[in-house]
A and B are shown apart, each in its own frame.
Chain A
Amino acid sequence: MAESIVPPAVSSSAGSAISPLTPLPLRAVLPWAVFVGTLMLVLLYFVGAEQGATSVFSGAGVHEWVHDGRHLLGFPCH
């Protein structure tokens, strides 16, 4: 109960094995967070807000296409 059966120390000697409890270094997460995280936010913008309050593309095609999803996922639509 007090001690983990697989202590984090095991992983450092075990080469490629990573204990479930050893934190991943933040510098390994950061590049992914910056590039992929930003891309994901852009995707969310197109689902949630494009051609509503603000528009990257003119017209209403994107808004119309994701319209029902936008409402049901909770975004203000129109």
Chain B
Amino acid sequence: MQTSTVRTLLVRGMIAGVVAGLLAFALAYVVGEPSIDSSIALEESQSAPAHEHDGAAGAPAEEEEELVTRPVQSTFGLATGVLVYGVALGGIASLAFAICLGRVGRLRPRATAALVAGAAFTTVYLVPFLKYPATPPAVGNPDTIGKRTTLFFLMIVLSVLVAVTAVIAGRRLAPTLGNWNATVAAGGGYAVVMALACLLLPANTDAVKETFPAALLWEFRLASLGVQALLWTAFGLIFGALAERVLRPAGGQAAGQGPETVTGTPAARAG
């Protein structure tokens, strides 16, 4: 019975992830693609005169041969990336929700969903972004992609592990410190450890060339931030509404009544 509840939550998490991904894709296409196009145009104008990258025998005029054309990359390609990201993280977030529900504070499902979505945005994207921010195409050194990928994923794994530890510690501290102080302590602990990690981990100096225009870089990073913020806000709200309907106490004395009649009562203590 409870296993099927988890399955239902998982399916709904993935559905919410798809819908959130669609919204995020729309925003990414409108505000993100212009800065990506500008970055690629800039790179081509700079590297065109002395392009020896593909070897002496290569055709310099053709650049690298395109496997996927720009119009496809900016539409179907972008949609695939954002949707798969949404589905995958929606599924993972719904599992995190299934664990947190009733364990992290006495919150209703939709409040727990909002909390999980906010925590996922912060730990998986925002904090790693502060140390290793998103970079537009064609600005960095391709030889360091291995190092940059390792550091980026290391930062995400570290951030998630520290956050999980902070939540567990917060739960342990809650009976003695009270919910508010325990939450502040857990959040503060996460912030301090991640600040130390940012200080100690190596900087990402060759992700962006020094000559790359700052305004374009800002525009791109703001778009990236907006896409992720929209994705997680939409996911939290949509999944919260879907999860609320799965977990609403339809049984008990109110059994047989329409679900809407039950909604009002527990809401009184939602805060």
Beta-carbon contacts under 8 Å, A17-34 to B: 17-26, 28-29, 31-33
CB distance from B74 to the nearest CB of A (A): 6
Q: Are B81 and A69 in contact (CB under 8 A)?
A: yes
- CA–CA, A71 to B132, complex, Å? 12
Chain B residues closer than 8 Å to A24, beta-carbon distance: 2, 5-6, 98-99, 101-102
- Give the residues in chain B near A21, CB-CB below 8 Å: 101-102, 106, 108
Q: Which of B32, B81, B142, B247 has the most CB of A within 10 A?
A: B81
What number of residue pairs across chains A and B have CB atoms under 8 A from each other? Answer: 219
State the Cβ distance, A1 to closest chain B Cβ, in Å. 7
Kindly report which residue of chain A lies nearest to residue B2, judged by CB atoms. A28
CB distance from B187 to the nearest CB of A (A): 22
The answer to whether A67 and B150 have CB atoms under 8 Å apart is no
Range of interface residues on A (Cβ < 8 Å):
35 or more
Contact A71 B134 (CB under 8 A): yes
Q: Which residues on A sit within 8 Å (CB–CB) of B106?
A: 4, 21
Contacting residue for A28 out of B6, B132, B223, CB 8 A = B6
Chain A: minimal CB distance from B226 (Å): 9
A49 touches B153 (CB 8 A): yes
B249 touches A17 (CB 8 A): yes
Chain B residues in 8 Å Cβ range of A46: 84
B193 part of interface (Cβ distance < 8 Å) = no
Q: Are A20 and B249 in contact (CB under 8 A)?
A: yes
Would you call B162 an interface residue if the criterion is a C-beta within 8 Å of the partner chain's C-beta atoms?
no
A72–B85 alpha-carbon span in the complex (Å): 11
Chain A residues positioned under 8 Å from B265 (CB to CB): 5-6
Residues of chain A within 8 A of B251, CB atoms compared: 10-11, 14-17
B217 smallest CB distance to A (angstroms): 12
Q: Which of A54, A67, A68 gathers the greatest number of chain B CB atoms within 10 Å?
A: A68
From B78, B87, B253, name the one whose CB has the most chain A CB atoms within 10 angstroms. Answer: B78
In the complex, B73 has a CB within 8 A of chain A: yes
Chain B residues in 8 Å Cβ range of A8: 102
Nearest opposing residue in chain A for B150, CB measure? A53
Q: Quick one: which of A5, A13, A54, A67 contacts B77, CB cutoff 8 A?
A: A67
A56 close to chain B: CB less than 8 A: no
Q: What are some 29 contacts across the A-B interface (CB < 8 A)?
A: A5-B265, A6-B265, A6-B266, A10-B252, A15-B251, A20-B109, A20-B248, A20-B249, A22-B102, A36-B10, A43-B87, A47-B84, A54-B149, A61-B67, A65-B76, A65-B77, A65-B81, A66-B80, A66-B84, A67-B77, A67-B137, A68-B28, A71-B134, A72-B227, A73-B224, A74-B228, A76-B140, A76-B149, A78-B142
Which B residues fall within an 8 A CB radius of A?
Answer: 1-3, 5-7, 10, 28, 32-33, 36, 66-68, 72-74, 76-82, 84-85, 87-89, 91-92, 95, 98-99, 101-103, 106, 108-109, 125, 128-129, 132-138, 140, 142, 145-146, 148-150, 152-153, 207, 220, 223-224, 227-228, 244, 247-253, 255, 265-266, 268-269
